[in-house]
Structure formats: C-alpha cells, structure tokens
Amino acid sequence: MYTPVGKSRDMFSRVAGLYMWQTIPFDKIGWDNVEQHYKDALMNHLRENFNFDEVERDYEARNLTGGITTVLMKRYADRKYQARK
C-alpha cells in the first residue's frame, strides 16, 4: 500500500482526479448527484492504492473539513470545469 507523506499526499487527489477524468461522466451538477456505482468504483480504486486512515489523518491535520469526501467533491468540480473548457 502506498501511504502519502508530506508533499506526496497530493498524489491522493491527483489519482482521484485522473480516475474521475477517465471513468466518471461530468454531466451531473455536483458530486452528490453522481451515481453511486461510479463513487464505489472510485473508492475501490483508491483503496487499492492508499491507506485511507492515513490519508484522512493527513487531511484532517491540515484542517480540511470533511477529509476524503471534501477532496473528492473538489476534484470532481475541478475536472468538470476542465472538461467544459
């Protein structure tokens, strides 16, 4: 398992964003409206590559409320914005 530490913690959001770009449609208004099977597939992909307990602690330590969920919501919004360009 890969454990993000220091600057490498950014890899979590990068991997999430790349997976979204390749597999999740951007026709929904917000992450909350994305079908659950897409969310489940993303979470399974991320669990294969990251230790969620350590990722969550890392984000909480930097006062990002919501932890992993907030990161995924932001990455979805960022990727959707890029897709519209």
Which tens digits make up the pLDDT trace of 20-31?
A: 999 999 998 899
Q: Is the pTM here over 0.85, yes or no? A: no
On whether residue 1 sits in a domain, the answer given is no
Taking 90 as the threshold, does the pLDDT of residue 38 lie above it? yes
- The domain of 32 spans 6-84
15-24, long-range: CB < 8 A, 24+ apart:
15/45, 15/46, 15/49, 15/50, 16/42, 16/46, 16/71, 16/72, 16/75, 17/75, 17/78, 17/79, 19/45, 19/46, 20/75, 20/76, 20/79, 21/79, 21/82, 21/83, 24/76
49 and 1 Cβ atoms separated by less than 8 Å:
yes
pLDDT of residue 66: 60
Question: Among residues of the chain, what percentage have pLDDT more than 70?
Answer: 74
Number of domains, the chain: 1
